[in-house]
């Protein structure tokens, strides 16, 4: 083992480096040669800080190094080194995920892409934008809006999540009921494969079916097939001035019946969200200005952005809500007022962190007609385990986010949370749903894959992974 005296003579050594093996130190030296000293970090405190996303419930593993490339070529160099040495690589963006998809594995290279944060080109004529993966989603939306264009993907983490993370989880959000998920906006990708080879998938044209659709394989792959370093995304013309409404209901049955009629009507909303009673109460405590009635069983938030029709659409939504016994309806007459309503929905996670302390976040989806059954499943899981659970989500497309609370450091509390989590996943699959609609599998949901998929289908996916990454270095232990 190297001694502290030996380390002090070595220009790449830090206090953490003295614990590395000769092979590990050689790997770090190669990374520094490729990226420079300032972009290769081996300090243990920083490695532990970067070793997890927001959804962990245990201590992070210790990675070998955190690297921060700024170009596709630097990413390729890192992967070539890792592949040569058979070192695991964990791609990371803003680390806003909640399923452990960006968690370190022992001895891994953490590939932090946040410095690759440039909007490279906005093509107004073809309504395209080309970006690096570290661009924040909300910043992209604001930049293209200045050019009279619209990027519709609007996850709850829009202000902090990165485009690269959105792509590899196929993030959805509040407006996918009308505009679809991230993958529906992806035209082409620059991807670095496990051995450092750089490829470009897809087409910038609207149509393109030459070859297999590898772009769709990369989208949602959680960094297990390749590393996205550039993306060309489809934009839309700006929508109309938004209008919306929030409605409170005395029962879940009334709220879901109103949501179902709204979503299936000819006046398709651009957002349709729900918060249950426990979430409403948590938001009130987190943000007293919300002034929501604590005794409401559920709240619906709806938006229309149809040009020349949004106000009429909201009048129809109001009629639907009244027919389904809404106890209170608040109208939002313009975009600013609608944004204020949607910000209430975005407070779901911050409010529940404040209320519960630590969380396991579900991301389950079923056909819309089975949402009431799914909510009863969630209630039953809470009753069976004693774990606190609050639920919100995208009722317009059947995607709910039950949030299970637990007490950090309390083994029994954590065990009850995991039992509730597993029970919800199993019953969701039995209802014909899926364990994840947009957050991904990560490490948290891998154990449920064998319930959702047959062994043959899982084996086929593993073979696809092996074709992209023969040595299995890319985000091992995640997704599959």
User: How many domains are contained in the chain?
Assistant: 3
Please tell me whether residues 155 and 188 are part of one structural domain. yes
How large is the average pLDDT for residues 124-149? 98
What does the pLDDT average to over 235-260? Answer: 97
Q: Is the pLDDT of residue 85 over 90?
A: yes
Backbone φ/ψ region at 394: left (φ over 0), alpha (ψ -120 to 50), beta: beta
- Whole-model pTM? 0.92
132 and 180, same domain (yes or no): yes
Distance of CA 270 to CAs 177, 202, 214, 316, 349, Å? 6, 27, 29, 14, 22
Task: Give 360's pLDDT tier (boundaries 50, 70, 90).
Answer: very high
Contact of 243 with 313, CB cutoff 8 Å: yes
Query: For residue 373, what pLDDT band results from cuts at 50, 70 and 90?
Result: very high
* 289 and 309 share one domain: yes
pLDDT confidence tier of residue 10, bands split at 50, 70 and 90: very low
Reported confidence tier of residue 88, pLDDT bands at 50, 70, 90: very high
Residue 41, pLDDT above cutoff 70: yes
Question: Is 442 inside a domain boundary?
Answer: no
Is 343 a member of any domain?
A: yes
For the residues 383-392, what does the mean pLDDT come to? Answer: 97
Q: Does residue 254 sit within a domain? A: yes
pLDDT band at 156 (very low <50, low <70, confident <90, very high): confident
**Whole-number mean pLDDT of the chain?**
93
Does the structure show a pLDDT above 80 at 426? yes
If pLDDT is split at 50, 70 and 90, which confidence band does 76 have?
Answer: very high
Q: Give the model's confidence band at 428: pLDDT under 50 very low, under 70 low, under 90 confident, else very high.
A: very high
Buried b (16+ CB within 10 A) or exposed e, 396-407: bbbbbbbbbbbe
- pLDDT value at 4 more than 60: no
Q: Supply the pLDDT for residue 211.
A: 93
Residue 53 has pLDDT above 50, yes or no: yes
Is 318 a domain residue? yes
Domain harbouring 94, CATH code: 3.30.43.10
In a domain, 425, yes or no: no
Within a domain: 399? no
**How far is residue 53's CA from residue 212's CA, in Å, rounded to a whole number?**
32
pLDDT at residue number 56: 65
CA atoms within 13 A on the CB side of 216: 7
Q: What confidence tens digit (pLDDT) does each residue in 311-343 have?
A: 999 999 999 999 999 999 999 999 999 999 999
**Rg of the chain taking only CA atoms, in angstroms:** 23
- How far CA 344 is from CA of 145, 240, 246, 268, 274, in Å, comes to 23, 22, 10, 22, 11
Q: What percent of the chain has pLDDT over 90?
A: 92
Residues 249 and 233 in one domain: no
Output the pLDDT for position 162: 97
Does the residue 444 lie in any domain? no
pLDDT digits (tens, 9 = 90+) for 446-477: 999 999 999 999 999 999 999 999 999 999 99
Judge if 91 and 126 occupy the same domain.
no
According to the model, what pLDDT value does residue 230 have? 98
CATH code of residue 126: 3.30.465.10
Which pLDDT does position 57 carry in this prediction? 61
| pLDDT band with cut points at 50, 70 and 90 for residue 7 | very low
Please identify, among 347, 362, 383, the residue that sits at the C-terminal boundary of a domain: 347
Residue 58 has pLDDT above 50, yes or no: yes
Which whole number is the average pLDDT over 16-20? 61
Domain that holds residue 154: 119-237
User: Could you give the angle at the alpha carbon of 329 between the alpha carbons of 323 and 335, nearest 5°?
Assistant: 120
pLDDT band of residue 17 (cuts 50, 70, 90) is low
CA 2 to chain centre: 41
Smallest CA-to-CA distance from 260 within 302, 295, 293, 292 is with 302
SS3 state at 435: coil
The answer to whether position 170 is within a domain reads: yes
Query: Which single residue is written with the structure tokens 């049955």?
Result: 253
Give pLDDT, residue 409: 87
Give the pLDDT confidence score for residue 60 in this predicted structure.
80
């Amino acid at each position: 083992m190297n001694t502290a005296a030996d380390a002090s003579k070595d220009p790449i050594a830090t206090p953490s480096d003295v614990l590395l093996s000769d092979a590990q130190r050689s790997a770090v030296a190669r990374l520094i040669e490729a990226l420079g000293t300032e972009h290769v970090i081996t300090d243990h405190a920083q490695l532990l800080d970067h070793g997890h996303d927001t959804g962990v419930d245990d201590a992070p593993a210790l990675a070998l190094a955190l690297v921060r490339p700024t170009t596709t070529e630097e990413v390729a160099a890192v992967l070539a080194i890792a592949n040569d040495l058979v070192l695991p690589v964990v791609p990371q963006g803003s680390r806003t995920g909640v399923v452990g998809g960006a968690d370190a594995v022992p001895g891994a290279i953490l590939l932090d892409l946040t410095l690759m944060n440039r909007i490279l080109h906005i093509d107004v004529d073809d309504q395209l934008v080309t970006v690096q993966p570290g661009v924040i989603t909300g910043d992209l939306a604001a930049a293209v809006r200045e050019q009279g264009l619209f990027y519709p993907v609007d996850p709850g983490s829009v202000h902090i999540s990165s485009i690269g993370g959105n792509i590899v989880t196929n993030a959805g959000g509040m407006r996918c009921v009308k505009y679809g998920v991230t993958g529906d906006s992806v035209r082409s990708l620059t991807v670095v494969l496990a051995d450092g080879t750089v490829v470009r998938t897809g087409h910038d044209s609207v149509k393109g079916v030459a070859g297999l659709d590898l772009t769709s394989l990369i989208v949602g792959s959680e960094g297990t097939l390749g590393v996205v370093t550039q993306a060309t995304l489809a934009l839309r013309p700006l929508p109309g001035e938004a209008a919306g409404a929030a409605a409170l209901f005395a029962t879940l049955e009334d709220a879901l019946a109103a949501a179902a009629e709204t979503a299936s009507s000819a006046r398709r909303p651009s957002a349709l969200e729900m918060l249950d009673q426990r979430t409403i109460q948590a938001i009130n405590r987190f943000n007293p200005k919300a002034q929501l009635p604590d005794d409401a069983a559920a709240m619906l938030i709806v938006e229309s952005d149809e040009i020349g029709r949004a106000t009429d659409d909201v009048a129809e939504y109001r009629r639907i809500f009244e027919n389904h016994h809404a106890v209170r309806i608040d109208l939002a007459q313009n975009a600013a007022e609608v944004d204020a309503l949607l910000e209430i929905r975005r407070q779901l996670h911050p409010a529940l962190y404040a209320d519960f302390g630590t969380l396991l976040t579900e991301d389950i989806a079923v056909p819309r007609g089975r949402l009431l059954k799914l909510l009863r499943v969630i209630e039953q899981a809470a009753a069976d385990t004693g774990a606190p659970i609050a639920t919100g989500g995208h009722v317009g497309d059947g995607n709910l986010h039950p949030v299970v609370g637990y007490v950090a450091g309390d083994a029994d509390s954590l065990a009850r949370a995991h039992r509730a989590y597993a029970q919800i996943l199993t019953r969701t699959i039995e209802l014909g749903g899926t364990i994840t609609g947009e957050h991904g599998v990560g490490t948290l949901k891998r154990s449920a894959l064998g319930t959702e998929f047959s062994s043959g289908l899982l084996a086929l996916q593993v073979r696809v992974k092996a074709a992209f990454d023969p040595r299995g270095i890319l985000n091992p232990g995640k997704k599959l």
